[in-house]
């Protein structure tokens, strides 16, 4: 019998993943034989300098891009060769996204944005799901803003709407791409606290791509990427430890 | 600086079409005038040739007017798409005025190219038509030489209006702030109402004044056919008001039409997209509104005229013998001539929809990332295109019906000697044709943007600009 990723307590896994752009002498290797597993319920940070391949890794794990070699799983589903429409449904039901530039749909109000994943699925939230959404709106302090459009909200509020949207379907995994990149440091800390709480209180698995040591210090586990390879797999660390390691990496390069 | 033509192809197409139409029509009237002059019976009368020239001029003016509205709107859309580039150039020290002059200069070059293409193609078309008419025995051989100096007029008109329209359409450049080059990539939705209030008041005054003149025309028309001239002025003035106030007129219509498409997320987003930027959607639709209004106005007037003639024919069959055929030919010729302006307007809508989809790549990527599948995305684009087309067609039909009846009433109210109410003729064939044309336009307008939208990778939503 084959061992499934979930048997190992993993929510997502990649094996011998490679990604190359272009061919011949101009080819660029974005990912070079990366294997890793993300544990269920954990808040994992993927760190690395620009061009380390962390965004490419996230795109492949989220079914947004396909690898040149190797395989990727979400839960027990091998997503490497899924068709575009199967990946679309997978993203809709099992993955949540939080982006650097918030990326709310400008034509929809806060409620419309949070409900969008359900609408795309052509269904109404069940009683239990609705309670969960109400709780999210409450916890994220969006109650008084529910009828507002994105452009009427501050950056921090927009990002909280994005978090509510990402968590609303209780996806297997939430991907956060530099979620604090467009926020001031205080609002950024708040957002990180909310993500950490979602993981700690509700067992939400989160993968966050960042190059900010302070952001990464909120995570349970930190993976460091450089030149398309994993160079370190660390547990919870302080921002100082992370910075020191990052600086060391720079010097070694 | 080097002139760049990104996104200017639609303008070239519109300019070339208007140029083709103008020169072909002038050549054809030239050929007809030559044939009439050669004929023994009609040759004496200079009136027929003059009338032909007048009619041709009216239709050329309409076509050039529609194409300049379309061009101004296309240029606005192109500018909206270039905002970041313009902001960057502003940031490194280029003035707004030089940026705008640059776009007007592009308009001039495009206008010259379009007019040149138009004259060549138009002459070819007219020549081909003449050959066919002669070969089928419809017309005798004429001495018409194609070196008609008048053809230069529509060409010059196309160049000037394209230039002017580019200048008018590029006023958005002045609103671009340098900071937008480095700012957040999110689209700005702030509605700048302040500057629009003055324009809306002007629009309202125009509509009120125009309507008053229309009413006056109808009243005068009860005793004299010259009422139609007053009515014509009223029509032009009130319609200009509607064009100016398009961002107030169109959104409610779009919202109403949007409701027809149901509540699926694709349909709802499409409806919302159509009303999100009142300025953008009125830009997309107003050309088509003008086109449909013109077609409907002419058809309703002609149909009313026809009803009247047919009624008279029933009363005195011997006087009006054989008039049916002449009526049909006249209606047919006028419909084709006016239909050409509607075609230019339709092309304008196809362009602006394509451009606006191109400019929303990031948003489409987001929807893909969140789980819109390709079919839903295509559905959204088609629904958006249908909403725009339908809204424009409905508005045009309603306006055209009003104008057409006013035209018929003021022209024919006194035709029977005593003041009488003219029953508006309902051109059913036209409505059927419009319905088919609208459906066709919806599909044509959404093919390219839908294909492009379906190719958008969800990764672009995550990219930081």
Chain segment B354-367, per-residue pLDDT in tens:
877 877 887 888 88
Kindly write down the DSSP assignment for every residue of B418-441, as one continuous string. Answer: S--PPPPP--HHHHHHHHHHHHHH
For CA atoms B424, B430, B434, B435, give the dihedral sign.
positive
Question: Measured between CB atoms, does B191 come within 8 Å of chain A?
Answer: no
Residue with the larger pLDDT of the pair B114 and B243: B114
CA distance B286 to A96: 40
Q: Could B462 and A55 be called an inter-chain contact, meaning their C-beta atoms sit closer than 8 Å?
A: yes
pLDDT over 70 percentage in chain B: 90
pLDDT at residue B461 is higher than 70: no
Q: Which residues of A touch B465 (CB under 8 A)?
A: 101
Edge-to-edge strand ranges of the sheet holding A205-210: A95-98, A173-177, A205-210, A43-47, A221-226, A229-235
Residue with the larger pLDDT of the pair B66 and A197: A197
Q: Could B371 and A89 be called an inter-chain contact, meaning their C-beta atoms sit closer than 8 Å?
A: yes
Looking at residue A1, what is its pLDDT? 55
Q: Residue A96: closest CA among chain B residues belongs to which residue?
A: B370
Q: Which residues of A touch B190 (CB under 8 A)?
A: 151
Q: Could B276 and A107 be called an inter-chain contact, meaning their C-beta atoms sit closer than 8 Å?
A: yes
* Structure token digits, residue B392: 């424009």
Task: Looking at mean pLDDT, say which of A198-202, B149-153, B383-387 comes out highest.
Answer: A198-202
Domains of chain A are 40-64+79-252 (3.40.50.300)
Q: Could B458 and A91 be called an inter-chain contact, meaning their C-beta atoms sit closer than 8 Å?
A: yes
Q: Which residues of A touch B273 (CB under 8 A)?
A: 107
* Structure token digits, residue B452: 């492009």
* Minimal CA separation from A62 to chain B, in Å: 9
Tell if the pTM clears 0.80, that is, is over it.
Answer: no
Split at pLDDT 50, 70, 90, the class of B170 is confident
Substitution target from B274, B359, B371 for chain A, most A beta carbons within 10 A: B371
Q: Could B371 and A93 be called an inter-chain contact, meaning their C-beta atoms sit closer than 8 Å?
A: yes
Looking at residue B188, what is its pLDDT? 45
Report yes or no: A117 and A125 within 8 Å, Cβ to Cβ: no
Looking at residue B99, what is its pLDDT? 83
CA distance B283 to B168: 13
Question: Measured between CB atoms, does B192 come within 8 Å of chain A?
Answer: no
* Minimal CA separation from B86 to chain A, in Å: 22
Looking at residue B465, what is its pLDDT? 47
Q: Residue B276: closest CA among chain A residues belongs to which residue?
A: A107
Split at pLDDT 50, 70, 90, the class of B388 is confident
- Write out residues 77-136 of B within 8 Å (CB-CB) of A: none
Between the alpha carbon of residue B155 and those of residues B35, B118, B214, the distances in Å are 25, 8, 33
Looking at residue B213, what is its pLDDT? 92
Task: Looking at mean pLDDT, say which of B39-43, B82-86, B164-168, B422-426 comes out highest.
Answer: B164-168
Can you say how many angstroms the Cα of residue B404 is from the centroid of all Cα atoms in its chain? 17
Q: Could B188 and A151 be called an inter-chain contact, meaning their C-beta atoms sit closer than 8 Å?
A: yes
* Minimal CA separation from A123 to chain B, in Å: 10
Kindly write down the DSSP assignment for every residue of A225-240, as one continuous string. Answer: EETTEEEEEEES--HH
* Structure token digits, residue A71: 């395989």
Q: Count A/B contacts: CB-CB distance under 8 Å.
A: 88
Looking at residue B193, what is its pLDDT? 44
Substitution target from A88, A90, A172 for chain B, most B beta carbons within 10 A: A88
| Residue-by-residue pLDDT tens, chain A, 253 positions | 567 777 778 999 999 999 998 887 888 889 999 999 999 999 999 998 888 888 889 989 998 888 999 999 999 999 998 888 888 888 888 999 898 888 888 878 899 889 988 887 878 899 999 999 999 999 888 999 999 988 889 989 999 999 999 999 999 999 999 899 888 989 899 999 999 999 999 999 999 999 899 999 999 999 999 999 999 999 999 999 999 998 888 777 6
Task: Looking at mean pLDDT, say which of B127-136, B183-192, B275-284 comes out highest.
Answer: B127-136
Length reported for chain B? 465
List pLDDT tens digits, range B174-193. 887 776 766 544 444 444 44
CA distance A82 to A87: 6
Strand, coil or helix: A205: strand
Question: Measured between CB atoms, does A91 come within 8 Å of chain B?
Answer: yes
- Write out residues 150-189 of B within 8 Å (CB-CB) of A: 184-189
Question: Measured between CB atoms, does A108 come within 8 Å of chain B?
Answer: yes
Average of per-residue pLDDT across B65-94: 80
* Minimal CA separation from A179 to chain B, in Å: 11
* Structure token digits, residue B50: 């003059």
Task: Looking at mean pLDDT, say which of A164-173, B86-95, B263-272 comes out highest.
Answer: A164-173
Task: Tell me what the pLDDT averaged over chain B comes to.
Answer: 81
Looking at residue B338, what is its pLDDT? 82
Looking at residue B5, what is its pLDDT? 61
* Minimal CA separation from B391 to chain A, in Å: 19
Report yes or no: B131 and B29 within 8 Å, Cβ to Cβ: no
Report yes or no: B408 and B400 within 8 Å, Cβ to Cβ: no
Q: Which residues of B touch A100 (CB under 8 A)?
A: 462, 464
pLDDT at residue B225 is higher than 80: no
Question: Measured between CB atoms, does B373 come within 8 Å of chain A?
Answer: yes
Question: Measured between CB atoms, does B269 come within 8 Å of chain A?
Answer: yes
B79-117 burial, b for 16+ CB within 10 Å, e for fewer? bbbbbeebbbbbeeeeebeebbebbbebbbbbbbbbbbb
Kindly write down the DSSP assignment for every residue of B42-90, as one continuous string. Answer: TTT-SHHHHHHHHHHHHHHHHHHHHHHHHHHHHHHHHHHHTHHHHHHHH
Question: Measured between CB atoms, does A52 come within 8 Å of chain B?
Answer: no
Between the alpha carbon of residue A100 and those of residues A163, A176, A225, B62, B354, the distances in Å are 11, 8, 19, 50, 28
List pLDDT tens digits, range B8-56. 788 888 899 999 998 998 888 888 888 877 776 655 566 667 777 777 8
Looking at residue B205, what is its pLDDT? 92
**Bridge-based pairing state of the strands A77-78 and A95-98:** unpaired
Task: Looking at mean pLDDT, say which of A184-193, B195-204, B241-250, B294-303 comes out highest.
Answer: A184-193
């Amino acid at each position: 019998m084959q061992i499934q990723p979930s048997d190992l307590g993993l929510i997502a896994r990649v094996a011998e993943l490679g990604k190359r752009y272009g061919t011949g002498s101009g080819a660029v290797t974005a990912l070079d034989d990366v294997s890793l597993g993300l544990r269920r319920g954990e808040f994992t940070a993927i760190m690395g300098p620009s061009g380390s391949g962390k965004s490419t890794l996230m795109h492949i794990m989220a079914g947004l891009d396909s690898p040149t070699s190797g395989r990727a799983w979400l839960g027990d589903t091998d997503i490497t060769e899924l068709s575009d429409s199967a990946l679309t449904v997978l993203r809709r039901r099992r993955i949540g996204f939080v982006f650097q530039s918030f990326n709310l749909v400008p034509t929809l109000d806060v409620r419309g944005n949070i409900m969008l994943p359900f609408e795309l699925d052509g269904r109404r939230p069940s009683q239990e799901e609705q309670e969960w959404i109400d709780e999210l709106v409450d916890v994220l302090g969006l109650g008084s803003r529910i009828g507002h459009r994105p452009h009427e909200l501050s950056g921090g509020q927009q990002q909280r709407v994005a978090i509510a949207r990402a968590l609303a379907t209780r996806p297997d995994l939430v991907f956060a791409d530099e979620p604090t990149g467009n926020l001031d440091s205080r609002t950024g800390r708040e957002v990180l606290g909310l993500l950490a709480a979602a993981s700690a209180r509700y067992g939400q698995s989160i993968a966050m791509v960042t190059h900010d040591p302070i952001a990464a210090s909120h995570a349970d586990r930190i993976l460091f990427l450089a030149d398309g390879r994993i160079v370190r797999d660390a547990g919870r660390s302080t921002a100082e430890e992370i910075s020191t390691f990052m600086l060391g990496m720079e010097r070694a390069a | 600086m080097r002139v760049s033509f990104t996104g200017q192809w639609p303008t070239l197409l519109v300019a070339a079409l208007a140029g083709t139409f103008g020169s072909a029509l002038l050549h054809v009237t030239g050929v007809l005038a030559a044939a009439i002059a050669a004929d023994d019976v009609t040759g004496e009368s200079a009136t027929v040739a003059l009338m032909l020239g007048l009619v041709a001029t009216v239709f050329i003016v309409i076509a050039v007017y529609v194409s300049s509205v379309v061009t101004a709107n296309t240029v606005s859309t192109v500018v909206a798409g270039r905002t970041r580039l313009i902001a960057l150039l502003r940031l490194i020290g280029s003035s707004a005025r030089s940026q705008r002059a640059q776009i007007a200069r592009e308009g001039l070059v495009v206008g010259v190219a379009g007019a040149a293409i138009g004259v060549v193609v138009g002459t070819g078309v007219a020549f081909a038509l003449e050959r066919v008419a002669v070969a089928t025995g419809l017309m005798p051989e004429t001495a018409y030489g194609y070196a008609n100096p008048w053809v230069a007029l529509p060409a010059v008109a196309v160049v000037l209006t394209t230039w002017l329209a580019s200048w008018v359409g590029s006023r958005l450049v002045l609103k671009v702030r340098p900071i937008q080059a480095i700012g957040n990539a999110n689209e700005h939705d702030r509605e700048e109402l302040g500057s629009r209030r003055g324009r809306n008041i002007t629009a309202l005054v125009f509509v009120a004044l125009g309507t008053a003149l229309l009413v006056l025309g109808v009243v005068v028309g009860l005793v004299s056919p010259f009422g139609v001239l007053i009515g014509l002025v009223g029509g032009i003035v009130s319609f200009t008001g509607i064009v100016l106030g398009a961002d107030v007129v169109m959104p409610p219509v779009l919202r109403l039409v949007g409701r027809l498409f149901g509540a699926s997320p694709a349909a709802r987003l499409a409806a919302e997209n159509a009303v999100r930027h009142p300025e953008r959607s009125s830009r997309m639709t107003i050309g088509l509104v003008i086109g449909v209004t013109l077609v409907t106005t002419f058809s309703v007037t002609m149909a009313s005229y026809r009803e009247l003639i047919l009624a008279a024919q029933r009363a005195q069959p011997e006087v009006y013998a054989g008039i049916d055929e002449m009526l049909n030919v006249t209606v047919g010729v006028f419909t084709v001539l006016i239909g050409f302006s509607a075609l230019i307007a339709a092309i304008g809508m196809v362009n602006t929809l394509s451009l606006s989809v191109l400019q929303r790549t990031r948003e489409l990527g987001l929807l893909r990332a969140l789980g819109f599948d390709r079919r839903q995305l295509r559905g959204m684009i088609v629904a958006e295109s249908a909403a725009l087309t339908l809204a424009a067609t409905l508005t045009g039909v309603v306006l055209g019906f009003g104008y057409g009846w006013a035209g018929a009433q003021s022209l024919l109210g006194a035709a029977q000697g005593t003041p009488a109410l003219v029953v508006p003729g309902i051109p059913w064939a036209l409505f059927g044709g419009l319905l088919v044309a609208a459906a066709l336009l919806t599909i044509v307008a959404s093919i390219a943007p839908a294909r492009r939208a379906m190719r958008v990778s969800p990764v672009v939503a995550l990219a930081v600009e």
